[in-house]
Structures are given as structure tokens and as C-alpha cells.
Amino acid sequence: MNHTHSIKIFSCRGSKYLAEKIALALKMDLGKSEVTVFSDGEFQPAFNESVRGATVFIIQSTYPPVENLFELLLMIDAAKRASAYKVIAVIPYFGWARQDRKDRPRVSIGAKMVANLFAAVGCDRVMTADLHADQIQGFFDFPVDHIYASSIFLPYLRSLNMENISIAAPDMGGAKRANAYSRILGCPLIVCHKSRERANVVGSMTAIGEVEGRNVIIIDDMVDTAGTLTKAANMLMEKGAKSVRALATHAVLSGAAYENIAKSQLCELVVSDTIPLRPAPGQDISKIKVLSVAELFADVIEKVYNYKSISTSFVF
């Protein structure tokens, strides 16, 4: 009797560009699937090949709109009902991660609710990159492989051969992440302190640490409207920084983000391809550099499938 389970990789519509790169890195073909869309907006994903007894990896980042999350959940459900041996959700960008606690009365903890949805459809495992808060892993009652984009960002930083580097956290919440970079690179840490007037609007900002004459690198998990990031960059330049660039894993880039970046003192914004860039025609993206997480995810997928340790895939 043959007990080896074949591996199959599928993609939902929102992350096909990344799934193709991951499949290429694994020297595999993407599995065949389709989505039927009904006139009222309802849609139904289907597998166009057998997944019986297979270990199925389904790739999809759950950035807005909510269809991206729901399509992934329907695909997992379809795979389980088609007798897949195991179904693993590969979610390079895990949406709703900012709702990891009750930060004011009468709000939902969206990240926990989304974790419950994955459990409800029978997901066996989740792979994701740079969660907004590490403790979100505890919202799941099955394994979560939490990958750090530092694996691709650190080699890039080293390739720049810059001197007098300082690592900066754009806010207190990002201090732990920035501190890990400063420890690995052996350089000083700057913490920017901001007061928010309301959601997505930053009030005043100041910096704690040595800024003057330094090449500052701001580290963040995501860049949304780029309000905090560009305000921090402009403030650091005013305080005498030699240059300011930023690294952010997830390029959410909503609202006026592209304009904010283009007009700011940032010399470069380095992001990964967990979310596709979606600039409007004619928007300036000359400062944005995209590094791919495809090889990183391909490596972890291969190790998980072959029951190998993945601890070596984590830089910190």
C-alpha cells in the first residue's frame, strides 16, 4: 500500500502572481482551479483536478476586499470535501491582523475571529509572514509557520555597503522588530514617538536616539497610508539624518500612500510582494523597490511537506 502523499499547489485569484513564482521555485506546476462568478456577486471556486489523498497548499494573501479571504476559505472547504489529506493555507499577508486586541470598548478582535474561520473550514496549518503582532499565532489551535521577511531584507541591506547605519522604529509598537535588526547588524536604534489624533492620522512626532549624520533605516511590518512612515522620514531628515530609507514587508499602500511616498524625504521604500503593488496610472513608484518572498515560502513549503525542521528559515 502506498502511503506517500503527493504535494499540490494551488492559488486563489488575488495572489496568482506570487503563487506562480513559488511554484517555479519548487519546480512544480500550479494546480488547475477555476472560480465561477454569479451575476449577484456570489462566487464558487472549484478544483479542476483530483486532490484526493494529497497535501494541498493554497496560496492567497487576505488583503482587502474581503473576497480574498472568503475565496481562500471556500477553496480550503472544497479541498477538504474532495478528500485532501492535509490542507495548508499559505497566507503571505494575513489581513485583520491589526485587530489583535480590544484597544477600545465594544470592538471585535478580528484576528481571532479570522483564525476561528480557518479552524471552522478544517484548515490543518497556516504559513504567513511578519504578523502585525507575534501573539496572533496563539489565536490558532493548529501549527502556524511564522516567516520573517528579514531573510530577504537583511542581505539587501548588507549589499548596500552603507556606513553609519541606524535602525529606526516608526513607533513604540515596532521597537521590538527594529531592535532585532539593530542587534543583528550591530548598529544603534532610534525610536520615533508619535501621538495619534485619530486612526490613520498622526499628530506630533519626535525621535529618541542618535540621528545626526546617520543613514537611517526605518523598519515596519506594513505600510498603509504611509502617513507615519513619511512623517518619520521627514522628521529624521530635519534632525540631521544623512539619508532615510524604509523596509516594510506588506505594501498595503491605501489612500494617498503613493503620493505621500513620492513627496517625502524617503530615498527608498523596500517592500516584499506579499501584496501586489496597485498604483493608479501615472503614479510615481520610482522610490519603491520590491523584493520577492517566493523563494522563502517555497523553501518552507518544501520543508513542511518533507517533515524537515524549518527553524533554520527564521532569521529572528
Quote the CA–CA distance of 312 and 213 in Å, as a whole number: 36
Contact 179, 217 (CB under 8 A): no
Question: Which are the contacts of 183, defined by CB distance < 8 A and separation ≥ 6?
Answer: 316
Active-site option among 194, 239, 242, 287: 194
- State the cell numbers at 36: 465561477
Order of strands, sheet of 86-91, starting from the edge strand that comes earlier in the sequence: 7-11, 55-59, 86-91, 125-129, 144-147
Q: How far is CA 53 from the centre of its chain?
A: 30
Quote the CA–CA distance of 315 and 308 in Å, as a whole number: 17
Quote the CA–CA distance of 296 and 273 in Å, as a whole number: 12
Q: How far is CA 88 from the centre of its chain?
A: 17
16: annotated active-site residue = no
Catalytic residue numbers read 194
